[in-house]
Chains A and B, each alone.
Chain A
Amino acid sequence: MNDTIHIQIDRADGSLQRLIGLVERRGFHIDGMSLSDEGQTRRVQIKVRGRDAGRCMENLGRQIDKLVGATRVSRPVAAFTGDYRTEVAA
């Protein structure tokens, strides 16, 4: 299943590579991508898919949140609810 993540990133050395590298390193395929210029920043839209069932989209989002100079501007479909308890397996 695909999810689309929207991210605003600084126009800084390596910022795009850093983002894409993180997504792939954390176990996700990139199935589609678009990039638009917003002056000092860039808006990136990435369509991602976990390599296996063990890949958690929510965790990928939190890893992206840790990047310096990157901001998630919309949450993936498996929405971040602000309530971590939703992750507890039944």
Chain B
Amino acid sequence: MTVATAFKDAPATAPQSGARLLVSTLERLGVEVVFGYPGGAIMPVYDALTGSSLKHILVRHEQGAAFAADAWARATGKVGVCMATSGPGATNLITGIANAMMDSVPMVCITGNVSTAVMGTDAFQEIDILGVTLPIVKHSWIVRNPADVPAVIEEAFHVARSGRPGPVLVDLPKDVQVGMTADPYGFSIPNTTAELDWAAIAEAEALIRQAARPLLYVGGGVKIAGATEALRDLAGRTGIPVVSTLNALGSVRTDAHGYLGMLGMHGTRAANEAVQESDLLIVLGARFDDRATGKLNEFAPFARVVHFDVDPAEVGKLRATHVPVIGDLKAGIEALNPGPLAIQPWAERCTRNAATNAYRYDAPGEGVYAPALLNELSLQAGDSFVAACDVGQHQMWVAQHCAFTRPEAHLTSGGLGAMGYGLPAGMGAKLARPDAHVVTVSGDGSFMMNIQELATLRRYGIALKIVLLDNSSLGLVRQWQELFFEQNYSEVDLSDNPDFVVVAQAFGIEAFRVDARDQVSDGIARLLDARGPCLMHVLIDPKENVWPLVPPGKNNAEMMHGDSRFEGDM
């Protein structure tokens, strides 16, 4: 419930419009960048933006605004802001809002709407965007009075970032934007500091001491809670091996001793086998997603479960929990101290398995081997590397083969799996971290879904680097058709793609092509050294698959290793 208080010490002010109040509230909240696109029903807000300290980035499609705001939030840990007009502007945000919801990203989406008097009459560009987005927002508001604007916006930011973060939507009818008020009021943030559940921590410690084969199963919640250092300290103190979800990659350095890799469908053999053998899963901010667990009732069959999460609804949702520790992950992990553990044989077996099954980059042939290219890309870029992935085979190769030293270095559409995320996400991340090597890794399918944002890169001189891995097909769908649909290749051929180098150049973006293995190192260097935005178009083998793979509906021990080039070795 909104706890509203009048601005106590505010002097009597001249009447202001709702639109002006929106802009001044965003400024007061410290918002730096707003991604958006104007239109009829939000014109008073765009009028009020003139002269504001807010930097507005004009995207070329509202989906780009939502994805860029999402990535800004992931890269900075702050709330991302996007803005669109009513009707089609608002509906174009939807995929981006859903993306933020699935991955718990704090985002405030502001939409204009038709005036309250005509809401519900099918007015021009009227859409019930609050109704349309109900399942994919953490909360939403229609502001019906200009005086409410500051309180609603402040509450929106509070809801977006508190507890388990998520996207919120504020719908501003046009009459509320132009309406004048001299009595704006603010929102008092409720005081909700929760006590640490020391009894649960003690029970968790007892289970850890009893376990012979404990395992840390780390999810995206660790990064969100700012608990990365606490996790690394815990892993170091206890020597418990670590597996990571897609969204948590980098929470533990990918080269750290005891790190076994990603678990799940395209996870490592070492991670999946450790999970299947473990007798205690210590789950930190993860949610037993089906891509991580495989066949759920055969997942970690010998393990008891200790589950740390800020969201009580995740505990016991899919897997029975023996000890839940609900609350702030950072405080919970810092408090966890089970003392010395006698798990050395287990830990050594796990790390040996990881070493035995390490990925190899010596595939025979002269063509570009995408996993090797991505590994080298991350190593050349170093600690300031940030990958913004699209969705498909390249996304899984990034997850498997790039070195990550921080969780904020890997931006990926994990829960939603939204093709088209990569380019606008890279744009948002590069604006947030101008000094970092931000690289969008995309595929020829995904790239076409938001290719219009090349114009935004050019307009603002955003020095995003793009690696476009082109196999002239929808590779991951093709791979599944090969493996699970009897090679019935249906609607996956994209061999009539445009010339991406020419397309990028037409947008005013530097671009070049790499089509042989011996060009890869120089190509990466040229890409990273480019002063402005730059695209490296890489031709890869259309028959290349992502290995290993747990087939859908199978348990994680049933991994397929289909790469005959490494047969007998992997």
User: What is the distance, in angstroms, from A68's C-beta to the closest C-beta of chain B?
Assistant: 4
Q: Is B1 an interface residue (CB 8 A)?
A: yes
Q: Is B86 an interface residue (CB 8 A)?
A: no
Interface string of A13-41 (1 = CB under 8 A from B): 11001100100010000000000000000
Expressed in whole angstroms, the Cα–Cα distance for A10 and B1 within the complex equals 7
Expressed in whole angstroms, the Cα–Cα distance for A65 and B163 within the complex equals 13
Among B142, B317, B323, residue most surrounded by chain A Cβ atoms (within 10 Å): B317
Query: Which single member of A14, A56, A84 contacts B324 (CB below 8 Å)?
Result: A84
Expressed in whole angstroms, the Cα–Cα distance for A18 and B133 within the complex equals 10
User: What is the distance, in angstroms, from A89's C-beta to the closest C-beta of chain B?
Assistant: 5
Question: When the two chains form their complex, are residues A68 and B316 in contact, meaning their CB atoms are under 8 A apart?
Answer: no
Among B134, B159, B322, residue most surrounded by chain A Cβ atoms (within 10 Å): B134
A88 and B135 in contact, given A13-B142, A66-B311 (Cβ under 8 angstroms):
no
User: What is the distance, in angstroms, from B52's C-beta to the closest C-beta of chain A?
Assistant: 27
A87 and B316 in contact, given A14-B130, A14-B131, A17-B131 (Cβ under 8 angstroms):
yes
Expressed in whole angstroms, the Cα–Cα distance for A24 and B322 within the complex equals 28
Expressed in whole angstroms, the Cα–Cα distance for A18 and B137 within the complex equals 10
Expressed in whole angstroms, the Cα–Cα distance for A67 and B163 within the complex equals 12
Question: When the two chains form their complex, are residues B321 and A21 in contact, meaning their CB atoms are under 8 A apart?
Answer: no
Measured as residues with beta carbon below 8 angstroms from the partner, the interface class of chain A is 20 to 34
A84 and B141 in contact, given A68-B159, A69-B1 (Cβ under 8 angstroms):
no
User: What is the distance, in angstroms, from A14's C-beta to the closest C-beta of chain B?
Assistant: 5
Q: What residue of chain A has the Cβ atom nearest to residue B164's Cβ?
A: A66
Q: Is A79 an interface residue (CB 8 A)?
A: no
Q: Is B312 an interface residue (CB 8 A)?
A: yes
Question: When the two chains form their complex, are residues B321 and A87 in contact, meaning their CB atoms are under 8 A apart?
Answer: yes
Q: What residue of chain A has the Cβ atom nearest to residue B203's Cβ?
A: A85
Question: When the two chains form their complex, are residues A88 and B141 in contact, meaning their CB atoms are under 8 A apart?
Answer: no
User: What is the distance, in angstroms, from B257's C-beta to the closest C-beta of chain A?
Assistant: 33
Q: Is B530 an interface residue (CB 8 A)?
A: no
**Interface SS of B by simple majority:** mixed
Q: Is A74 an interface residue (CB 8 A)?
A: no
A13 and B130 in contact, given A69-B1, A88-B322, A89-B320 (Cβ under 8 angstroms):
yes
Q: Is A51 an interface residue (CB 8 A)?
A: no
A84 and B315 in contact, given A12-B141, A69-B1 (Cβ under 8 angstroms):
yes
Question: When the two chains form their complex, are residues B134 and A21 in contact, meaning their CB atoms are under 8 A apart?
Answer: yes
User: What is the distance, in angstroms, from B141's C-beta to the closest C-beta of chain A?
Assistant: 7
Q: Which of chain A's residues 54-84 have a Cβ closer than 8 Å to chain B?
A: 56, 58-59, 62-63, 65-69, 84
Contact partners of A67 in chain B: CB under 8 A: 139
Question: When the two chains form their complex, are residues B138 and A68 in contact, meaning their CB atoms are under 8 A apart?
Answer: yes
Contact partners of B311 in chain A: CB under 8 A: 66
Q: Is B140 an interface residue (CB 8 A)?
A: yes
Q: What residue of chain B has the Cβ atom nearest to residue A21's Cβ?
A: B134
A contact set with B: CB distance below 8 Å: 10, 12-14, 17-18, 21, 25, 56, 58-59, 62-63, 65-69, 84-85, 87-89
Between A and B, 9 residue pairs with Cβ closer than 8 Å are: A13-B140, A21-B134, A25-B135, A65-B313, A66-B311, A67-B139, A68-B139, A87-B321, A88-B322
Other A-B pairs, 12, CB within 8 Å; known A14-B130, A59-B317, A68-B139: A10-B1, A13-B130, A13-B144, A58-B316, A59-B313, A65-B313, A68-B159, A69-B1, A84-B315, A85-B321, A85-B323, A88-B320
Going nearest first, the 7 A-B pairs with the smallest beta carbon separation are A62-B313, A68-B139, A13-B142, A84-B324, A87-B316, A88-B320, A63-B313
